[in-house]
Amino acid sequence: MVREPTSPPQTQAPTTIPGAPDAMPSAPALLPQRAVLLVGNRVRAKQVLDELQRHGIEVHLLWSMDRVAAVLASVQPDVVIADAPSFPDSQEAARAVQTVRAALPDVEVPVLLLAEAAGLATWDLLLAADDFVLEPLRAPELAARAALLARRASQPNRKGTLVAGRLVMDLIGHKVLVNGQEVYLTHREFELIRFLVMNRGRVVTREMVRQHLWGPDADEGLRTIDVHIRRIRSKLERSGGRFIETVRNVGYKFVE
């Protein structure tokens, strides 16, 4: 089994070769400072890692699924970059990304997928990511997309509030307001609606919701998710309007 290195790679300053033109400008301020690179093999890991470090991004490798929560809590990354081609197949890459999703801390971390065009046919893999970059690897595009995701995700969470149309979530006070009126939700319902809001506009599968709420080894059936969704809808939509859309045979999507 490939194991995570004992000392995570640190940010390296760009190296200038005497007599050569300026190969790499300084990293712009908007680039993420820390990234976790989710990979499946060593050879591929070094290639992607080197390209990201050349852009001044501190990169920590993650390839042991039993240490996901510990690594994320320790590093507190601005973005997770999942390298799908380094896994044996798209299904295994999807499972790894979903495990990371389930272990993410309270501050939501965006996931950027590096994928081959054929891999996008795996629906669960595509849905598990916030954005993707197609092969062949182009480091400037990869760094730029990672930066945009990190920047979008940072603002609402640092304020402790999520605003989605008529719905406002107070993450610190653990409250939900609809049209300015507080709506009581259980802890599980609060976590479920927050997961949907954080992925607004994207379809999340029942399996993704189950893993987020109970973890990858949970015994709860997928029908339990449907029960929670019905209860949340009855509470949020009393004043009219719709917040949760059912995508038949796939899952759910939050709509503003």
Secondary structure, 3-state, the chain? CCCCCCCCCCCCCCCCCCCCCCCCCCCCCCCCCEEEEECCCHHHHHHHHHHHHHCCCEEEEECCHHHHHHHHHHHCCCEEEEEHHHCCCHHHHHHHHHHHHHHCCCCCCCEEEEECHHHHHCHHHHHCCCEEEECCCCHHHHHHHHHHHHHHHHHHHHCCEEEECCEEEECCCCEEEECCEEECCCHHHHHHHHHHHHCCCCCEEHHHHHHHHHCCCCCCCHHHHHHHHHHHHHHHCCCCCCCEEEECCCEEEECC
Q: What is the pLDDT of residue 20?
A: 32
In tens, the pLDDT along 197-214 reads 887 777 888 888 887 787
What residues are paired with 85 via a beta bridge? none
Residue 149 has pLDDT above 80, yes or no: no
- Average pLDDT over every residue of 98-111: 74
Higher pLDDT, 223 or 87: 87
Q: What is the pLDDT of residue 25?
A: 38
Higher pLDDT, 79 or 12: 79
- Average pLDDT over every residue of 31-55: 79
Residue 144 has pLDDT above 90, yes or no: no
Q: What is the pLDDT of residue 120?
A: 66
How far apart (Å, rounded) are the C-alpha atoms in residues 194 and 207? 16
Q: What is the mean pLDDT of the chain?
A: 75
* Closest by CA position to 135, among listed 44, 59, 33: 44
> Could you tell me the domains of the chain?
34-157 (3.40.50.2300), 159-254 (1.10.10.10)
Amino acid at 241: G
pLDDT tier at 235 (50, 70, 90 boundaries)? very high
State residue 8 phi and psi, 5-degree precision. Answer: -65, 145
The token pair that represents 201 in the structure block: 């506009």
* Closest by CA position to 101, among listed 69, 78, 123: 69
